[in-house]
Amino acid sequence: MIATRSPIVQLGIRAASPIALVVAVFLFFAGHNRPGGGFSAGLVLGAVVALRTVAGMSRPIRAVPLLTAGGLLAGAVAFLPMLWGDPLLDQVVVERSIPVLGAVKTGTALAFDAGVTMIVVGLVVAVLDGLGADDLATGPDGGR
């Protein structure tokens, strides 16, 4: 009943999806020098997924694999340094030049941020599942 199957809405969302993807990537890399970061990037992606769900469009990702991968990645960055005696979450800093963003000083923090992003997207997908968004997507009567 909330999900409007208006073609215009669907078209809008379809058009917005790649743009949001770009925004997310920008935010992801901008985080270290400008506002943004892994969490924000994840939320942008999550919002796109939520919109697609509401509009009854396909949702290409599942929660559990995302959460697992994100947790493993962030956990690895956090705990691996302890294996060779460095403190928890010790960083390795690398400096690279990337088009558009310019010089980006970064390091393992980026991998950690990637893990955060995956977890946030996974959480949003999980909430959409948990709140019964599938019922909405299949129609007012829940498809039953």
Partner 1 sequence: MIGLLLALHLATCGLLAATGRELGRHGLLVAALPPSITTAWALTRIGADEPATATLGWVPGLDLELAFRVDGLALVMTLLVSGIGALVFLYAWGYFGSSAVGVGPFATALIAFSTAMLGLVWSDSVWSLFVFWELTSITSFLLIGHKHADAEVRAAARRALLITAAGGLVLLAGLVVLVDETGVSRLGEMGPISGGGAALVSILLMVAAATKSAQVPFHVWLPGAMAAPTPVSAYLHSATMVKAGVLLVAVGSPILADVAVWTSLGLIFGFGSMLWGAVGALRHRDAKLILAWGTISQLGLMIALLSIGSAKATFAAVSILFAHALFKAALFMVVGEVDVRTGTRDIGELSGLWRTMPLAFGVAVVSAASMAGIPPLLGFPAKEAAIEAVLGLTGAEAWLVGGGVVLGSILTVAYTARFVLGVFGPGPEPTPVHPPRPAMTAPSALLAMLSLAGFVAIGAVNPIVGPASVRIDPQAEVYDLLRWPGVTTAFLVSLAVVGSGLAAGLAAHRLGSGAPDPIGARSVDALIDGVVVGARRLTGRVQHGSLPVYMATMGATVAVVAAPFAWSIDGADIYRWDSPAQAVLAGLMLAAAAVAAVLTTRLGAALGLGAVGIGVAGLFVIQGAPDLALTQLLVETVVVVGFVIGLGHLTRRFPAVGQQWQAVRLVVAAAAAIGVAVALAGSGSSPVGQPPLEALTTQAVEDGGGNNIVNVILTDTRGLDTLGEIVVLVVVAIGVLALAASARPREAS
Partner 2 sequence: MSGALIVTVAGLVGIGVYLITARSLSRIVLGFSMLGHAAVLGLLAAGGPAGAPPLAGAASDPSQPANPLPQALSLTAIVISFGLTLFLLALARRQNQITGDDLVEDDLEDRRIAAVDPGQRDYVEESAA
What mask of x and - would describe binding to partner 1 in positions 7 to 26, judged by CB under 8 A? --------------------
The reply on whether position 33 binds partner 2 by CB under 8 A is: yes
Residue tagged 């990702």 (tokens) = 61
As a whole number of angstroms, the distance between CA 101 and CA 76 comes to 27
CB of 49 to partner 2, least distance (A): 14
Task: Select the residue interacting with partner 2 from 5, 34, 96, 105 (CB under 8 A).
Answer: 34
Q: Which of residues 55-74 bind partner 2 (CB under 8 A)?
A: none
Q: Which of residues 122-141 bind partner 2 (CB under 8 A)?
A: 123, 127, 130-132
CB of 126 to partner 2, least distance (A): 9
Distances (CA, A) of 98 to 27, 54, 92, 106: 14, 36, 18, 11
CB of 91 to partner 1, least distance (A): 6
List the Cα angle 40/45/48 in 5-degree steps.
130
Of the candidates 143, 111, 133, the residue with the CA atom closest to the CA atom of residue 32: 111
The residue type at 67:
L
Q: Which does 107 bind (CB under 5 to 8 A by kind): partner 2, partner 1, none?
A: partner 1
